[in-house]
Structure 1
């Protein structure tokens, strides 16, 4: 089994922990300290939220400011359109921003959110027909 760890920079670790717990994630205290927090999305997906200075110790490359440039956008599938709206509403209430309106393609519905540091997250629902047969075979 492969586990996925996504490292994200933050300027305010406590604010980031509050944001991610507000949208339903848990913090794993075994891998959380004054420099980083382990955000648990599922049994196999984790975000390591790292203070920018600590993040910089893992690379010789400059750390992008996610408010200014997009380097990666992580997307999560949800079980329904309502589930997409529910998590985005929680994210907005917790200090996130929605950079563009919802995208409705018929077979797929998606909304994006930027966390308070500007890191981009996507949430989408795709009809079972599209998942099984591809979007060109829907409707």
Structure 2
């Protein structure tokens, strides 16, 4: 079985967050959703767990950060093309998110990325990377020396 990642995000309005994540391409998994949490599936290996604040607080003794005011994580997600990056950001904006809180990453023929914030301020970075560039890596000379 492939390793999976489950990103747990505290949200203030679960229904609004479900609608937002559906708008950007995730599907709600009813088997792992209830009135306190919703599992949003992006792929076979990537899921986002949206947790109401009071439920999220049961998993940590730390206070929940205001993601509108501070940054704790940048959540990057791959896209199949530069156009798909733009489509995701546009969908996020139309669904109540904020477009491009971070700089655009536009390196033609290598990679293209933008960003958006969900309604709770969580910062996402959809990115497309050319397969040949990805295979070589960011530092091909260093890899050859290793």
Cα distance in 2 for residues equivalent to 1:91 and 1:41: 14
Structure 1 partner of 2:82: 81
Structure 2 partner of 1:6: 7
Equivalenced residue count is 137
Query: RMSD of the TM alignment (CA)?
Result: 1.3
Structure 1 partner of 2:131: 128
Structure 1: which 5+ residue stretches go unaligned? none
1:21-64 deviation per Cα after TM superposition (whole angstroms, max 9, x unaligned): 11111101111111111111111111110011110110111111
The equivalences for 1:50-129 within 5 A come to 50-98=51-99, 99-106=101-108, 107-129=110-132
* Shift of residue 79, structure 1, vs aligned partner: 1.2
The equivalences for 1:29-44 within 5 A come to 29-44=30-45
Cα distance in 2 for residues equivalent to 1:2 and 1:136: 26
Structure 2 partner of 1:46: 47
Structure 2: which 5+ residue stretches go unaligned? 141-146
* Shift of residue 128, structure 1, vs aligned partner: 1.9
Runs of 4+ aligned residues of structure 1 deviating over 6 Å after TM superposition are: none
